[in-house]
Amino acid sequence: MAGASNLPPGFHFFPSDEELIVHFLRRKASLLPCQPDIVPTLILNLYDPWELNGKALQSGNQWYFFSHATQTRTSPNGHWKPIADETVISGGCNVGLKKTLIFFIGEPFEAIKTSWVMHEYHLMDGSINCSSSSTSSSSSKRSHKKKGHSDTESKNWVICRVFESSYDSQVSFHEEGTELSCLDEVFLSLDDYDEVSFAK
């Protein structure tokens, strides 16, 4: 699955910050299936950014993957340095935090800055239950209780978008505030399937 989207012909994976948190990261942390289930889970420390091809989900010149949050974002040949934080809002609710990081090659005191950028998305405290749908929220609570999944474990999940800034066009697309075509409606309709039982 890694590296391939498994989406129907003509469909492309270009989610906004809000969609990555609400439709993917929140569901991952709540032990609910992501729909479509196309984003793989990787251990960030095992790979340099140029090694993500074929391992993470590729969409254009960007790579997406789930991982566990870590304080030391080192890799075999360098490290990720945080440079900025930004709150992500959905429906008037602070649902997540977007951290921007730059990749440096070498040891911290002798590191060389590269053009590789990573957006690392985190859930805000209580954001799993901050939902426009009480049904979705109650399903999340049931899932946590059933699996014995703690809030600490849930908040430990992150979803990452990695790209080379000199080749990326998606960043400017989202920063200009342009809305994606019908993605919210598509994902919301898929979410509804969790609560539907089809008659046999």
pLDDT at 176 over 70: no
Instruction: State the pLDDT at residue 170.
Output: 46
Query: What is the enclosing helix (H) or strand (E) of 166?
Result: none
Instruction: State the pLDDT at residue 134.
Output: 38
Note the pLDDT tens digit of each residue in 19-55: 999 999 999 999 898 877 899 999 999 999 999 999 9
Check whether the bond before 82 is cis (ω within 30° of 0).
Answer: no
What SS3 state is found at 57? Answer: strand
Q: How confident is the model at residue 109 (pLDDT cuts 50, 70, 90)?
A: confident
Query: What is the enclosing helix (H) or strand (E) of 107?
Result: none
pLDDT at 198 over 70: no
Question: How many CB atoms lie under 10 A from the CB of residue 131?
Answer: 21
Q: Which domains does the chain have, with CATH numbers?
A: 17-127+154-167 (2.170.150.80)
Check whether the bond before 36 is cis (ω within 30° of 0).
Answer: yes
What percent of the chain has a predicted confidence (pLDDT) above 90?
51
Q: Which range has the top average pLDDT, 25-34, 147-156, 181-190?
A: 25-34
> Taking a C-beta distance cutoff of 8 angstroms, is the pair 112, 156 a contact?
no
